[in-house]
Amino acid sequence: MTTEAVTKVTPQRAPKHAGRGTVLVVLASVSFGSSGPLAKPAMDAGLSPQQVASVRIGLAALVLLAVVAVWRPALLRVRRSDWKLLAGYGLVGVAAVQMLYFAAVSRIPIGIAMLLEFTSPILVALWVRFVRRTVLSARMWVGTALAMVGLAMVAQVWDGLRLDALGLLAGVGAALCAATYFLVGEHGANTIQPLGLVTWGMVVGAVATFAFAPPWTLPFATFGAAAEFGPWQVPVWVLLVACAVVSTALAYLLSISALRDLPANVVSVLALLEPVVATSLAWLMLGQALTAVQLVGAAVLLTGATVVQLAARKPVVPDLPPRMEAVPSVD
């Protein structure tokens, strides 16, 4: 009997709880999608997009710190080795992605900016395929492509198309940061408790956004003004608190928790539900009409997301390098 080194391909682990992860992503998308309808009345009242982002992230950081300090104070203790990950998550996944998106919106149509940011699933898939050397199924690629086509229809990217170099660069930057958010979040969710990760990531993100919109420069008189929110007149500060708690703190926590159950490339595609939710809420609460093309696009996007979710139920197989194991063989 002899022992030979035989190449053995080890499959990547299947999703831990695909059903639970999918529910968490859907809830996160609903929470993230509510940010537009909540933030737009505040901006109409006189706040700039940068100020809204600063208040949103800053309040979310305060709320999370207070909840964790009372409920699970042990999560506030961070190992020195984790600070690099937390800093990257907060700077890139929280602060940079939002600031770059707002910068893009200020220079190019919102549909183009939205499409650019949400190309992140393609970037994540390419990273998984060519950097992690993981083979993705054909259905995964087809579902991703369908979802992107549906997103383009929902965003109506052809409406008012104009090119602006800085705006396009900001949109591409937002996509890169969003892709980094999913990949770093996937790693962090498996090494740090999600609540602790989101809390300190939000604190880092808040400090970064304060550099662009310092709290002492905010027009506090505007906070008490009434803003139109559907049929109601709501104080601006109420909208900002709701945006911070629901659209930021809760949304990020649900999204990061989903990354414990599903791989980043799946979560990033399912997260494309966010613009569908945002468009639907804008229609319901702000009276912004939906076109037939947008409705068809939403159906196409949901179909693509469903294909990706179903494809994720089968474990994907790593490509190269394979693991070498000594397997006994008989001459």
What does each C-alpha distance from 188 to 31, 100, 196, 309 come to in angstroms? 21, 23, 10, 22
Kindly tell me if the per-residue pLDDT of 15 is higher than 70.
Answer: no
**73 contacts 86 by C-beta, under 8 angstroms:** no
Kindly indicate the confidence band of residue 135, based on its pLDDT and cuts at 50, 70 and 90.
confident
- The token pair at 101 is 């998106």
pTM over 0.75: yes
pLDDT score of 6: 36
Higher pLDDT, 173 or 283: 173
pLDDT of residue 9: 37
**Separation CA 64–CA 61 (nearest Å):** 5
Q: Which distant-in-sequence residues (6+ apart) come within 8 Å of 272 by Cβ?
A: 29, 118, 121, 147, 148, 150, 151, 301, 304, 305
24, 309 contact by CB (below 8 A): no
What is the domain partition of the chain in residue ranges?
Answer: 2-329
Q: In the chain, pLDDT over 90 holds for what percent of residues?
A: 35
Q: pLDDT tens digit string along 200-238?
A: 999 999 999 999 899 999 999 999 999 988 788 999 999
Secondary structure class of 327 (helix, strand, coil): strand
Residues in the chain, total: 331
Asked if 158 contacts 81 with a C-beta cutoff of 8 angstroms, the reply is: no
Q: State yes or no: pLDDT of 161 exceeds 70.
A: no
Q: 247-297: per-residue pLDDT in tens?
A: 999 999 999 999 998 888 888 888 888 878 877 777 777 676 778 888 888
Partnered with residue 323 across adjacent β-strands are: 8
Inter-residue contact 114 to 240 (CB < 8 Å): no
151 or 325, which is more confident: 151
pLDDT (tens digit per residue) in 51-108: 999 999 999 999 999 999 999 999 999 888 899 999 999 999 999 998 888 888 777 7
Residue 109: per-residue pLDDT: 67
Distance CA 123, CA 64 (A): 30
Between CA 193 and CA 191 the distance in angstroms is 7
**For residues 310 and 262, is the Cβ–Cβ distance under 8 A?**
no
145-156: buried (b, 16+ CB within 10 Å) or exposed (e) per residue?
ebbbebbbbbbb
